Amino acid sequence: MKQSLEQQSSIVVRRLRPADLERVVRIDAKILGRERSKYFESVLQRNLRDTGVQVSLAAEQDGAFVGFLLARAWYGEFGTLEPYAVLEAIGVHPDFQGCGVGAALLEQLVVNLNALGLTRLRTEVEWRDRELVNFFHRAGFTPAPRLCLDLAWTSHDPRTALTER
């Protein structure tokens, strides 16, 4: 659903509220094809509780909930001392993708993060998700100087993975 510039300017970004949980879960399930209600319940509760300036946002157009963004502020992790924000999740209803909703959410997030004195935003994305990678690239994201690493093992004992190598 492509929209005109006039329609794009009617996007309203507001703080995310606890009552938005079901709508967040519904949009995310439409995008991913599976429901993650427990994840969003936990993240939304923590984000709304932990940050005075709102960094979790909702997007509406003509009163309809069309997108969301969940983020949080960090003041050091993995040995870093500089404060930054983490973008944990972003979702735009499939009917409104490509219409400026994601950009409106990110723009408001940057305004809110500036109010906290934060000037860096980090996120992770599945590298094969070309559409999302391209969205973040257009928004100005670049690869981080740090490498995210995973350790997987087949048994319940992580030492097994270490001794098999």
Overall domain count for the chain: 1
How confident is the model over 81-105, as a mean pLDDT? 91
pLDDT at res. 45: 75
Residue 106: pLDDT over 90: yes
Q: Which helix (H) or strand (E) holds 127?
A: none
Residue 48: pLDDT over 50: yes
CATH of the domain at 130: 3.40.630.30
Rounded to two decimals, what is the model's pTM?
Answer: 0.79
How confident is the model over 13-18, as a mean pLDDT? 91
The percentage of residues in the chain with a pLDDT greater than 90, rounded to a whole number, is 50
Note the Cα 87 to chain centre separation in Å: 4
Query: 146 lies in which domain range?
Result: 5-163
How confident is the model over 29-33, as a mean pLDDT? 90
Distance CA 20, CA 89 (A): 14
Helix axes 37-50, 21-32, angle to 10 degrees: 130
The per-residue pLDDT for range 113-161, each reduced to its tens digit, is 998 888 999 999 988 999 999 999 999 999 988 888 888 777 666 666 5
pLDDT at res. 37: 83
Task: Name the band, by pLDDT with cuts 50, 70 and 90, for residue 80.
Answer: low
Report the candidate in 141, 64, 135 with the shortest Cα–Cα distance to residue 110: 141
Q: Are 25 and 43 in contact (CB under 8 A)?
A: no
